[in-house]
A and B are shown apart, each in its own frame.
Chain A
Amino acid sequence: MKRALLCLLLLTFSSSVSAVVYVGGNYGIATYGAEPLDKYRVHPKGYGYGGFLGIGKDFVGLEGFYQSLPTKGEIKHDGGSHDITTNATAVGAALRFGFQSFYLRLGIASYDVRQSLSITDEASQEAATEIYEVQEKVRKNGVLFGGGLHGKLSENFRYIIDYSRYQITGVGEYDTVSVGLSFNLPERFLSLGKY
């Protein structure tokens, strides 16, 4: 699988078509799911943004990305309602396979997970932290995959409507639905393909 992917990349980026450097950003809704939260019907959600910078040739793009995943949900514990914060940021690399009106994306990421829960009573805080398996400050690896629709707004601008799943190994997963813009940098800014 890895060899096939490498061959595809080499073939793509060594073809006669010149490469394009693109940059973009997105903003949208994120929902977080994890087994201990799903069990008690807790579904944190929030709004996050992201950015990416990539190089593309033919229909394949290789990009680095950043995505913020701030989410919050309500738990009911020991007779009270409290907020559980399940934030994370993702930094990683992905392959983007672009077609006429849609694209698919697949990548790996490093996640900075910061979850918190604040209950005044210390014993309740401790019990709830255990029940909901709160991950206070951890760095984990994972994957992302998704896809969406895109189309030209002008010669260099594209709109993007994206669905992605950011999956953190052993922790949980975020589903995001966002809108974004991507911009193809003109060659006069970056003289790629001339070397």
Chain B
Amino acid sequence: MTSQQQPTGAQPVRRRNSRSRRNQLAGLLFVAPALALVLIFFVIPLGMAFWMSLHNWPLLGKPRFIWFDNYSRLLQDTQFWISLRFTVYYTVIVTIAIFAVAFPLALYAERSRPLTKLYRTAFFLPVVVGFGSASLLWAWLLDVDSGLFSYVFAHLGLTDKRINLLADFDTTFWSIVVMVVWKTAGFNMIILLTGLQGISTEVQEAARMDGASSWQRFRRITLPLMRRTIALALILSVAGSMLAFDQFYIIADGGPQNRTVTAVYWIFSQSFMSFRLGYGAALSMVLLVILVVISVVQLRLLRNPEGV
């Protein structure tokens, strides 16, 4: 997988220096702790995960080698495919929603006026709160008896009684989308802001002189120059959303009726609630391949934006 990857543009400045063996050894020694960690806690586990996926591997008791049985079973695991489809659906919707909020915020926060920094900080604050805390916070806001929303909706007459927002798939889903947008829009705003600030003001000025309307400038200058940044923000959002777990576990318990069980949630449930470690590993392998494919495709697009 990594062979397809060119070393990223960040090559160190090449300068002639003494290349004694000692120097080589020193370099290796410096990176050794990091390599050891990656080897023990990433590379080996990854290999093991594949090895385990070929076994019937209970948490307790002896593993049994079963070739690719887990993978053929996985094809018939309806809940897994439902979960995967749901995860993709969530990823698409939440990514669009985040952008719909973060882009205007970035355009707004780009201007330097008094207090802009303060607003920007306010938009950003939910980002530093953990997903776990944010989920616990929203689990309360969404609670039918003690929360805010069902009470307010009923009082404004939007619903004729207090309704349980987490009892219906659509309301659960959109509640969580709103929560995630609230939590992550600031992050995407900052990323987009970096891109916006990279666009030279002269280009914008020149276009304005030529009589281009602000929409035209946005469409013809800002957007094209922002492609790389947008692609980066997209990658981060997609990769994060495909792995969503905390919010669905803590707020919705995967409900109603297991319909918001995400892919990671199902892997967690198979591995650590039903203790089918081998099967869980097989599910993980599938998810991993999907994610690597998505990342590689997106990185390609990122590198030659014209291909978008």
A binds B: no
